[in-house]
Chains A and B, each alone.
Chain A
Amino acid sequence: MEIITDGFSWLTDPANWSGSNGVPIRVWEHLQLSLIALTIATVIAVPLGLAIGHTGRGRFISVQVANIGRSVPSLAILGLVFLIAVERVPALAFGSLPTIVALAALGIPVILINTYVGIDQVDRETVEAARGMGMSGMQVLRRLEVPLATPLIMTGLRLAAVQIVATAGLAALIAGGGLGRYVIDGFYQRENDRMVAGAILIAAISVLTDLVFTLLARLAAPRLTSGSKGSGKIPA
């Protein structure tokens, strides 16, 4: 247990909180990487999930691809993108790009599946009634399917965000920034306290990310009763 307390001592040392290798900068880098990766994953996976859920087309293939995607380790993707980049665009090989690609790839399957399932579980009768009243496909999607799928879409974003934040430390392997620096550098330089502090920080902001997205999900949930917001259940 001494190693853990060492980690906390490292964190309480003011010297480690300033400069270009200080905690605030590393946390900022870590979050930046994660946010960019999450944004890219969202921009790709949400529209795709909406399209699949709304049309019912490409359902099988997308779920299969997503499942395969989920089982490929991020480290492998990072290595692959890094190698391709070294060969094609060496200028971008070291730095954020390979990490961002790997992290986005990590986030896409879970967002895609949750978005698709979110749309798919919207009551078909309600959808048909909406079509029967003369809503166009886009109106059905915007006014009915997306609002009702929001809780599941938010769950997908939360899971993806937590996974990405927890994995973003990989960046340090290819000379990127973020909290992974402490873990990697601490490991190679035999500074166990620094390594543990890095791990603690990554764990802490992962938990924090989970909380933030849980809160966001609650705010975004559709209102189903006239009582307090978000307390309603979707009627059977």
Chain B
Amino acid sequence: MISLEHVEKRYSGTAAPAVGDLTLEIGEGETVALVGPSGCGKTTTLKMINRLIEPTGGRILLDSTNVLDQDPVLLRRGIGYVIQHTGLLPHRTIRQNISTVPRLVAWNDERIAARIAELIEIFDLDAELLDRYPAELSGGQRQRVGVARALAADPPVMLMDEPFAAVDPIVRGRLQDQFLDIQARLRKTIVFVTHDVDEAIKLSDRMAILNVGGVLEQFAPPETVLREPENDFVREFVGAERGLKRLALIKVGDIEVDDGPVVSPSASADEARRVIDEAGFGWVSVVDEGELLGWVDRHELEGCATAGEPTPRPFSAYVTARDSLRQALDSVVTSRTAAAVVVSEGQHYRGILTLERISKEIVA
């Protein structure tokens, strides 16, 4: 979809090129992160694709046409562009902002109105916001409008320059989740720049790790980069917590969970005690026909006939199949029971995750 062939950018008066000789092949529907330390030319590379910066050498093919052969203004209308501070026109309403590119490419009013209705649904924006001005929106809302605006004319390719860097971490997390949801549906070809390794790991299909001067150190899926960093530069860049970061990529639903100690509420107290001793956690989950009621320990079973007689205490935290192993790990280490209980929709008991089980994934 996009291929950079020996792309070079030199600024006159500087000895070292900003980007030396970069070759990169980006597939259709792929999300690629350009990451690296400052001075690695990641933003320069991004802006060469839509010619906000003109390359001084090499070719950039978009759908097998060299972008350097196209009129830059027309080229850009066919590529979505999102920047850190959104760059919304402050004197135009949200509606006018979103319609910018459709108007540039001369869509008629009905088509634009229909597209806006579609976009506010996709981006979960309040229709009331459409007649407000950018200054009246929160940072998170502005950022969503910025992405919606970039997608307004439905371009197949989108370039994003530090798209979520300007918002606070909580909002950023939410925007990233929304980005993943939307991208799963739309399957655009996306190239984004970030200085945040975790963001690249979370959002990209493949990450291109660049060194100073646009030297490509590794171009691979995050999972591979974390497990087999190509060299010391990559190892250092992704940081010491590679194992933990990899956990963020694995969903609880992707691995097999342990059955864990389980009894039904009608089981005898003796039976419950036996299960507790066998598992060695000091407690047992009480599950009634698949539904998790809570847990009891030996102490509570004292003088009871069945496992269901003492009211089972609810678990303070659950993990679902959609959570990452990193989140599960957090639940495990913070729970008093040294294990995280995995449930699916409607408190349906699935099993437990232990520290031991998770560390097996780290070393895998």
Contact = CB atoms under 8 A, between A and B. Distances in A.
Interface of A: 123, 125-126, 128-136, 139, 143-144, 147-148, 222-226, 232-235
Chain B interface size, under 10 / 10 to 19 / 20 to 34 / 35 or more:
20 to 34
A198 to B, nearest CB: 43
Contacts of B150: 133
Contacts of B73: 134-136
Contact of B90 (A131, A134, A143, A235): A235
A125 B162 CA distance: 13
- Ranked 6 nearest A-B pairs via Cβ: A129-B87, A134-B77, A132-B81, A222-B91, A134-B76, A235-B135
B136 interface: yes
A225 B133 contact: yes
A225 B159 CA distance: 29
A126 B74 contact: no
Interface in B50-109: 50, 52, 73-78, 81, 83-91, 93, 100-101, 104-105
A132 B50 contact: yes
B132 to A, nearest CB: 5
B84 A126 contact: no
A235 B132 CA distance: 14
A125 B83 contact: yes
A128 B133 contact: no
Interface string B161-173: 0000000000000
A132 B47 CA distance: 9
A152 to B, nearest CB: 14
B121 interface: no
Contact of B76 (A132, A232, A234): A132
A132 B82 CA distance: 8
Contacts of B52: 128, 131-132
Determine which residue in B85, B87, B134, B136 has the highest number of CB atoms from chain A within 10 A of its CB, and name it. B87
Interface string B285-300: 0000000000000000
Nearest to A143: B89
Given A132-B76, A133-B81, A224 B91 contact: yes
B120 to A, nearest CB: 17
B101 A128 contact: no
B258 interface: no
Contacts of B159: 132
Contact of B87 (A125, A134, A233): A125
Given A129-B81, A133-B104, 10 more contacts: A133-B81, A133-B101, A133-B150, A134-B76, A134-B77, A134-B101, A135-B104, A148-B90, A226-B132, A232-B135
Contacts of A233: 135
Determine which residue in A134, A226, A232 has the highest number of CB atoms from chain B within 10 A of its CB, and name it. A134
A223 to B, nearest CB: 6
Contacts of A128: 52, 83, 87
B25 interface: no
A148 B134 CA distance: 14
Interface in B102-157: 104-105, 131-136, 149-150
Contacts of A224: 90-91, 133, 135
Nearest to A137: B73
Contacts of A148: 90-91
Contacts of B133: 223-226, 232
Contacts of B105: 134
Interface in B173-220: none
A133 B83 contact: no
